[in-house]
Amino acid sequence: MKVLLMGTGGADGIPALYGSDRVSKVARANGGKDLRTRSAALIDATLKLDLGPDTLSQVHRFGIDARDWSAVFFTHSDEDHLCLSEIQYGMFPFVDDEKLDYTIYGNEIVCQLIRHRYPEWPIDLIELKSYVPVVHEEYHVTPIKATHKGDEECHNFIVEKDGRKLLYATDTGFYRDEVFDFLAGREIDALVVECSEGFQKTPYIGHMDIAQCVELVERLRANGALISDARVVTTHHAAGGDATHDELVAALKPHDIEAGFDGFSFDV
Ligand SMILES: [Zn+2]
């Protein structure tokens, strides 16, 4: 599988839309890897993970053709991941197709929001349940429970094809024991994991800072969830975490974790 991180920023991106923080200032001055759009990914040009408000700019920047997408999997309903208005452009009258070209997968709340917004529109919508795998074309996708919100079952995804496995874990929070147990021994080949809070842990349990991210990765390595040389790449970095890209690289490298950036791509 070929994985492209289309966006690696938190909800307000970097530079944050109205941010006067240090990291936003550095990003405005330096550009490059310090610029982060809202988190999203693409697998093999066909499987889209989340569809946020920066989708169009990401498609332009990376030369992606959205007509190649066969599915969009939503992790949860937060607006940096689910931009409802972007869905309509895949249907008549914006295009000739009466029906949306791709299948949408999401949790109960994601499905409710889409049905409410598009009650009469022809959309294939499949509701995901935690730990219940779905088969989409040659991919097996298993939603697992993130620790992100109390009022919504947010998902991370194990995506498997041809015996290779990726765990896409954004808006993760530190996993509950049941999730570590579920993942134990699965020998996943690569992990994309959130590191929203950088050097600045907040009381919010729905996101992780660097220390928690490292702890989570070490636990997944120790219990066999990850193969010993699994590639680990971060995403969903917030300006409030007070970590520039170079600082993230320096902090994560000793733990064999790579700091992701918009446009980072790798094979699994
Ligand atoms: Zn988010």
Q: 43 by DSSP, 3-state: which?
A: strand
148-180 pLDDT, tens digit each: 988 899 999 999 999 999 999 999 999 999 999
Distance 93 CA to ligand 1 centre (A): 30
Distance 8 CA to ligand 1 centre (A): 10
pTM: 0.96
Distance 97 CA to ligand 1 centre (A): 31
The per-residue pLDDT for 111 is: 98
pLDDT reading at 42 higher than 90: yes
Task: Write out the two tokens for 204.
Answer: 């919010």
Distance 31 CA to ligand 1 centre (A): 21
Distance 182 CA to ligand 1 centre (A): 23
Distance 78 CA to ligand 1 centre (A): 6
- For the chain, the average pLDDT equals 97
Distance 169 CA to ligand 1 centre (A): 11
C-alpha pair distances (Å), 2 with each of 64, 130, 164, 228, 267: 13, 25, 11, 20, 5
Distance 204 CA to ligand 1 centre (A): 13
Name which of 201, 248, 207, 240 is nearest 24 in CA terms.
Answer: 240
The residues spanned by each domain of the chain are 2-267
% pLDDT > 70, the chain:
100
Distance 171 CA to ligand 1 centre (A): 5
CA distance 86 to 148: 24
102-139 pLDDT, tens digit each: 999 999 999 999 999 999 888 999 999 999 999 999 99
The per-residue pLDDT for 99 is: 87
CA distance 226 to 199: 25
The residues, any chain, with a CB within 8 Å of residue 112's CB and separated by 6 or more, are: none
C-alpha pair distances (Å), 262 with each of 9, 37, 54, 134, 240: 8, 7, 11, 28, 18
Strand order across the 71-73 sheet: 125-127, 103-106, 71-73, 47-49, 40-43, 2-7, 265-267
Mean pLDDT of 48-76: 98
CA distance 146 to 76: 10
Distance 224 CA to ligand 1 centre (A): 27
Residue 203, classified by CB atoms within 10 Å of its CB into exposed (0-12), middle (13-18) or buried (19+), is exposed
Distance 88 CA to ligand 1 centre (A): 22
Distance 236 CA to ligand 1 centre (A): 7
Distance 132 CA to ligand 1 centre (A): 23
CA distance 5 to 261: 7
> With contact defined as beta carbons under 8 Å apart, do 35 and 25 qualify?
no
| CA contacts within 13 A on the Cβ side of 228 | 0
Distance 98 CA to ligand 1 centre (A): 31
pLDDT band at 78 (very low <50, low <70, confident <90, very high): very high
Mean pLDDT of 18-41: 97
Considering the four listed CATH numbers 3.10.450.50, 3.60.15.10, 3.40.50.300, 1.10.10.10, the one that applies to the domain covering 2-267 is 3.60.15.10
Distance 73 CA to ligand 1 centre (A): 14
